[in-house]
Structure 1
Amino acid sequence: MSLPPSPGPLTVSSVNLNGIRAAGRKGFTAWLASSTADVVCLQEVRARPEDLPADLLAMVRDRGWRLTLAPCESAPGRSGVAVLTRTEPEAVRVGIGVAEFADSGRYLEVDLPGLTVASLYLPKGAAGTPRQEEKDRFLAGFAPYLAERREKAAAEDREVLVCGDWNIAHTRADLRNWRGNGTNSGFLPHEREWIGSLFASGYVDVVRALHPDVDGPYTWWSYRGRAFDNDTGWRIDYHVATPGLAARARSAVVERAPGYDRRWSDHAPVTVRYRR
């Protein structure tokens, strides 16, 4: 299978905004205006369409973006995912087929020619609490959905790319302080086993495939203390692709802010260039 021909590579960016209105005031709108990506996946938008900043909507329109948004209807002002594309999607699907998460603003996918791109905001748990139980229920429902999506895409001769905040660090190389986080959500043994099984099933961690022997590159740093300055981070924002697309990945970069005061989110964009 080959993606439709194009003069250049397919560039996809993904970032958790930690709130689109706050991020916009701090620099996200300027970043997006300068982006040359073909697709941008957003997480933790925390807004309904009517709540989006006017200057952002004007810029999106002027730059020719198509915005597809899946807000959290069950708890307005929380979660929410979106996908920006340069062309109108052929189809849009929301949710992972589990009723509990149908309107939770956790998952959105769009079909482009030869490619399905999804934006994911996987729940953030807290070990030993109902939040972790919710996260585990999401994982239990998400695994078969991803398997079904992979099989359906293969039958349709298309690729799949799931970008977003997975809220799981897979290996010790994916967080700086792994020794102190073995009992914390995001690095629990069963979470690591879950995402490892996903990669063993046929999906590829694109950034790790391109950078197999490095710590990180980290994508999230706590606002507390000097985590950002010391690069004490976690790599929890992934591009997860079917093998055909993963093999076309040519470069990957975490667009880390040049300084703490230049951050517009506690996450950084992860941008990958794929050969078409």
Structure 2
Amino acid sequence: MNIISWNVNGLRAVERKGELRKLIDSEQPDVLLMQETKGNPDQLQPFLSAYPDYLQHYSSAEKKGYSGTSIWLHEQLASRVDGLRFNDTIPDAPNADEGRLCQLSFGLDGRSWDILGIYFPNGGKSEQAWQEKLVFYDRTHDYMNRLKDAGGTVLVGGDMNVAHTEVDIARPKENDGKIGFHPRERSWMDRLHADGWIDTWRQRNPSARDVYSWWHAMSKSRDRNIGWRIDYFLIHETCLDTVSDIAYLNAQMGSDHCPVRITVHPDARDTG
């Protein structure tokens, strides 16, 4: 399965630029996770006819033009799976009305899959927003463990709004302690790793530097590659053998984030 996660920073905007079509034509994803879709159901309706090869599911925020996630499943893969179902809720998590999760679950070749596309809160607007972000992290961790313990292969992709280590951010000293690179956010990633959850790209590229997924649009930082790696695919170590490739698609334009692509093999041996 070829799976892509992309914070599009407005699905309608990236479509108008022709960049969504460009990505789909070039990469032909089996599953596409998108964050910050920023549209209500009526506004996103045209995508159903524009991309008929994909079964599309949306989770929209109640607030207009804000947040939102989507997950698309190619019809060829959809025809091969069983028990297909969607979920939009992380139990007991705050921000439940902001459309932050699209989850796809199914069985394929004898293996159960739970694919989660998540847009994590930024947390920088207020003290309340900051505290809610920390709770969201913890509830998501709990939910990931719950799905894993139920026997599924759990793949979590999305914009996690945290750069984990100093090699994941261009200017670590200047941003130390700030939202997105705060010790409490980074310690959440540490706890995930201690619990067996693997940052799949970093696991394959332990010493790589200057690879980022988000650049501040107003400062033209992308031209200078002054960025942050805050978009990830995580999988539990017991299922790491399903992963055959992962890459950031830095040449893909249209958003202040670039997509990340992972290739997994459903028939790989489960070591859990």
Bin the TM-score by the shorter chain. 0.7 to 0.9
Match of 2:257, SS? coil
Aligned to 1:52: 44
**Given that residues 95 and 103 in structure 1 are in contact (C-alpha distance below 8 angstroms), is that contact kept between their aligned partners in structure 2?**
no
AA partner of residue 42 (structure 1): M
AA partner of residue 186 (structure 1): G
Aligned to 2:20: 29
AA partner of residue 265 (structure 1): S
Aligned to 2:257: 267
Percent of matched pairs sharing the same residue: 29
- Take 1:245 and 1:38, find their aligned partners in 2: how far apart are those partners? 19
Task: Quote how far apart the aligned CAs of 1:31 are.
Answer: 2.3
- Take 1:37 and 1:246, find their aligned partners in 2: how far apart are those partners? 20
Is there any run of 5+ residues in structure 1 with no aligned partner, and where? 1-9
Cα 1:47/1:81, change in 2 over 3 Å: same
TM alignment of 1:4-19, pairs within 5 A: 10-19=1-10
Task: Quote how far apart the aligned CAs of 1:32 are.
Answer: 4.2
Match of 2:172, SS? coil
Give the RMSD, CA atoms, in angstroms. Answer: 1.9
Task: Quote how far apart the aligned CAs of 1:127 are.
Answer: 7.9
Match of 2:213, SS? coil
- Take 1:234 and 1:255, find their aligned partners in 2: how far apart are those partners? 14
Task: Quote how far apart the aligned CAs of 1:128 are.
Answer: 6.4
Q: How many residue pairs were aligned?
A: 255
Show CA shifts across 1:37-81 (max 9, x none).
111100001112210263x332311xx1110111112x1321111
Aligned to 1:3: none
Show CA shifts across 1:57-110 (max 9, x none).
32311xx1110111112x132111111112177111111112633332111211
Show CA shifts across 1:130-183 (max 9, x none).
32122122123222222212212x2xxx30001100001111111111111012
TM alignment of 1:35-184, pairs within 5 A: 35-52=27-44, 54=46, 56-61=47-52, 64-73=53-62, 75-86=63-74, 87=78, 90-98=84-92, 100-113=94-107, 114-126=112-124, 129-152=127-150, 154=151, 158-184=152-178
- Take 1:225 and 1:168, find their aligned partners in 2: how far apart are those partners? 20
Match of 1:50, SS? helix
- Take 1:163 and 1:128, find their aligned partners in 2: how far apart are those partners? 26
Aligned to 1:233: 227
**Superposition TM-score, scaled by structure 2 size:** 0.87
**Given that residues 28 and 264 in structure 1 are in contact (C-alpha distance below 8 angstroms), is that contact kept between their aligned partners in structure 2?**
yes
Instruction: Pick 1 or 2: higher relative contact order, CA cutoff 8 A, min separation 6.
Output: 1
Is there any run of 5+ residues in structure 2 with no aligned partner, and where? 267-272
TM alignment of 1:187-226, pairs within 5 A: 187-226=181-220
Match of 1:184, SS? coil
- Take 2:184 and 2:225, find their aligned partners in 1: how far apart are those partners? 26
Show CA shifts across 1:223-260 (max 9, x none).
122310111110000001122432222222211137xx
**Given that residues 127 and 184 in structure 1 are in contact (C-alpha distance below 8 angstroms), is that contact kept between their aligned partners in structure 2?**
no
1:248 alignment partner, one of 217, 242, 258: 242
Aligned to 1:7: none
Cα 1:52/1:247, change in 2 over 3 Å: same
Moved more, 226-235 or 32-41: 32-41
